[in-house]
Amino acid sequence: MADDRTQQLKIAIAVLSLCLVVLVGLIGLIAFRPGASPVETPAVSIGGPFELTAQDGRRMSERDIAGKPFAVFFGFTHCPDVCPTTLWEMSEALKALGTDGEDVRMLFIAVDSERDTPEVLSPYLQSFDPRIVGLSGTPEEIEQVVKAYRVFWEKVPGTDGDYTINHTASVFLMDAGGRFAGTISYGEPSNVRLEKLRQLIGKG
């Protein structure tokens, strides 16, 4: 008799346990059903504080351009094509903005800390619009801003100990609040480029 009761108790516990497992499973299914409660993807933040050296030797940070929209481009002066093309096309676009764009700045951040000193950047940038500011820094300073803008770059060894650099070719557009507002892709038509800049400065 005692054995029967023990047996019944064991069965009851087993049934209850099974019910509990099923219940937990159902709750899990409802709670984590795809689309039922979408997991919020944190907005990818692009940009942030920086402190670098301008081509005139002065230190420059995001505070110096606060309250004004700006563009950011990462590159290096030895770049044979993407950098000079981008800087030339952006110069043309800045010119086309006229006085509407006189407060706009474009930062050309040189990732080649080894070769791109202010003394190299200064003459290099004379071929382009004066609103383009060349910025260089120590590898650590560059790394910080590269991370902030989620930029990719890598040194590619060439012949005779020389090297070139592969790098992100997009221009980042930042609004007056320092927030990421979009990009201009390499090779984007000049009218699209200009329209994006007009929108950035609120004249679109």
Q: Are 107 and 48 in contact (CB under 8 A)?
A: no
Q: Are 180 and 172 in contact (CB under 8 A)?
A: yes
Quick one: which of 83, 85, 89 has its CA closest to 108?
83
User: Minimum distance between the CB of residue 108 and Ni ion, rounded to whole angstroms?
Assistant: 10
* Residue 146 interacts with Ni ion (CB under 5 A): yes or no: no
Candidates 81-89, 102-110, 155-163, 187-195 — which segment interacts with Ni ion by CB under 5 A? 81-89
Of positions 71, 79, 125, 174, contacts Ni ion by CB under 5 A: 79
Task: Tell me 77's DSSP state.
Answer: T
User: Minimum distance between the CB of residue 75 and Ni ion, rounded to whole angstroms?
Assistant: 4
| Structure token digits, residue 194 | 């200009």
* Residue 173 interacts with Ni ion (CB under 5 A): yes or no: no
Q: Which residues of 26-41 are buried (b: 16+ CB within 10 A; e: fewer)?
A: eeeeeeeeeeeeeeee
| Structure token digits, residue 87 | 């800087």
* Residue 72 interacts with Ni ion (CB under 5 A): yes or no: no
User: Minimum distance between the CB of residue 38 and Ni ion, rounded to whole angstroms?
Assistant: 39
* Residue 75 interacts with Ni ion (CB under 5 A): yes or no: yes
Tell me which residues touch Ni ion (CB under 5 A). Answer: 75, 79, 82-83
